[in-house]
Amino acid sequence: PSSSIDAVEFNEVWGYVMNKREKDYTPELPVTNISYFISAVNTFSELDEVPPKEKFFNNTSARVHLVTSCDSKAQTHLLLSPEYSLRDKIIDQLIVATETYDGLQIDWELVPADDAEHFAQFLKILKSKLNGKMLSVAIPARIKTLEKDAYNYETISSIADRIIVMAYDQHWSTSKPGTIAGTDWCEKIADYALTKIEPDKLVMGMSFYGRAWRDDTEGGKAYIYSSIEKLIKEHKVKKIVRDEYLTPSFTFTKKLTITTWYDDAASI
């Protein structure tokens, strides 16, 4: 927005490619590291089939890291517990799946606080079995140290090669409307992270998406940047407002029809 803003050069630029959206990536994009999101750990606590790196990233000079996630807090607890064989099983599957890749990224966002020690042990075992490949871990944004936290910055930084701090979703689908990653909020996150994480390990996550909120109780919806542009065009948005940090927002009004199906005494 302003020519007075200086360009900042980074040693590494990371970008995410989502499973089934591989066509959105082209080798011309200026990224040094690609985080390739595969399907989450499935119902049977196993990985679905993982394509080899060359299937989608044969022509890139960037390092490609396989990203794993787990979408259930209860399943995460069982997978991390040393009491069960599930932990060794999923570790072995992750190591095999990463064979053709340059590294592995753990993006398990539902680790219970009481499983902090088990999570750290899980990361240590993975690191030891990756044979020198990069281990990166995505962790939630923090502005201070919590008393109980599975994502303790210092602990994870002592194990992993890179820490991706998810400095976004400051406002979320069911919160009041607001910035996805306000500049002042992100500055606090970065300042705190630098007190706990070695600078050459720190990767600050940035938001390239938006959210829309309605004035009823149905909650918010997330939009990728191209969809935001489509909203502006389709609804003929004329006024885009920027806050003191130049973060844009806009409002439009549309007729809303809500259809509701339900059961009552007669239908039951």
Instruction: Please return the burial class of 199, using the count of CB atoms within 10 Å of its CB with bins 0-12, 13-18 and 19+.
Output: exposed
Taking the C-alpha atoms of residue 100 and residue 94, their distance in angstroms, rounded to an integer, is 12
Tokens of 216: 């009823």
Q: Is 109 part of the annotated catalytic residue set?
A: yes
Helix or strand or coil: residue 71? Answer: coil
For residues 70 and 79, is the Cβ–Cβ distance under 8 A? Answer: yes
First-residue to last-residue Cα distance in the chain: 59
* Long-range contact pairs involving 59-64 (C-beta distance under 8 Å, separation at least 24): 59/27, 60/25, 60/27, 60/34, 61/27, 62/27, 62/31, 62/32, 62/33, 62/34, 63/32, 63/33, 63/34, 63/102, 63/103, 63/134, 64/33, 64/34, 64/36, 64/101, 64/102, 64/103
Question: Among 109, 198, 218, 229, which one carries the catalytic annotation?
Answer: 109
Query: What positions carry a catalytic annotation?
Result: 109
